[in-house]
Amino acid sequence: MSGAVAVRFFLPEPPAEIARLARLDPDRDWRELVTGDRAWILQTFLRLSRAGERVELVGAVPDGGVVLFHAKHERHVRRAPGAGRALLVACRADNRQALAAEIEIVQNRQFEDGRSRLFVPHWPQPGLLPREQARGDRIERVAYKGFAANLHPDLGAPEWRASLAARGLVWEADAPVFAGASTPTAEARWADFREVDVVIALRPVEPGTARSKPATKLVNSWLAGVPALLGPEPAFRELRRTEHDYLEVETAAAALAALDRLRGEPGLFRAMVENGRRRAVDYDFAAVTGLWRELLFARLPGLAADPARARRRRLPLGLRRLGRLLGRWASGRPPR
């Protein structure tokens, strides 16, 4: 158990809801964790709490210690009296820079600088059920698991399903429409890979949409024991060592060619599954919990106590935000 400095996770919720959320089981109740704030703030609190760490989930921003919040809740932090006396740590996720934060947690290494921006991998899929080993090397069911907006339109077209059917393959688009807290997740089966043989994740072609995304779909495929066909995203490429990690595809036609190769090249399917099993141990729940523990209880207390940072913390929060904004523009890097 760690924690000389109080570590609190902030969600702008009333006390009764905070109490309910703190009692959730992250694997059983994974459908409560599909939004960015729940995935980063609530799940991290739940995982660390169950690992025996002294952490707290709060609905009001305290005026001391270490406070973690989601970037989209920055406005709540700015309005909180005394928030500037805490070490404010923002989980950026897919959002722009949280200027109120002294430290940002980023989910993609290209934004890490080792000082004010620190990388922590996104959590894997909670409650994940891996592929049944009895399926062997056969390829019959191909799936996408994620929000509908993140699926390339060619993979939603009738021609795609027909091309798979001509090969004797079944297509499963496990893709609810994102609607924030109202996202219809009751029918989603994101955690269930038991009858999935190959996963595909190919985004719409929109400049910049993939730059800040995490490598979660790749890690999930490793943990599930399922080969993955993935688009050309920075986070995937950061982890890629060989093509046994995943097969990169940019179009529906390339995805069909990759499926044909997986079915026709002896040993490739099994090699990808076994490689994924080796790679997954660095990104599973135990590994990510360890990274959070090191960050919160080894690195952040030292940053909080740093005299220069402590002096800056005496300045009004709005002035500090302005200074960070000007610093970003002066460096030629607009806030992102």
Q: What is the pLDDT of residues 110-141, one digit of tens each?
A: 888 887 889 999 999 999 999 999 999 999 99
Given a cut of 80, whether residue 311 has pLDDT beyond it is: no
Q: Quick: pLDDT tens for 16-32.
A: 999 999 999 999 999 99
- Secondary structure (3-state) at 91: strand
234: closest CA among 92, 104, 111, 95?
111
Cα–Cα dist 62/66, whole Å: 9
How confident is the model at residue 9, as a pLDDT?
98
How confident is the model at residue 335, as a pLDDT?
46
| Mean pLDDT confidence for 62-68 | 89
The residue written with tokens 């995203």 in the block is 233
Look up residue 46 and give its two tokens: 């739940």
Region of residue 334 (phi > 0: left; psi between -120 and 50: alpha; otherwise: beta): beta
Spatial contact of 213 and 233, defined as CB atoms under 8 Å apart:
yes
Using pLDDT thresholds of 50, 70 and 90, give the confidence band for residue 293: very high
Cα–Cα dist 152/317, whole Å: 41
How confident is the model at residue 184, as a pLDDT?
80
Given a cut of 70, whether residue 313 has pLDDT beyond it is: no
Using pLDDT thresholds of 50, 70 and 90, give the confidence band for residue 317: low
Query: Whole-structure pTM over 0.95, yes or no?
Result: no
Beta-strand pair 198-201/228-230: parallel
How confident is the model at residue 97, as a pLDDT?
80
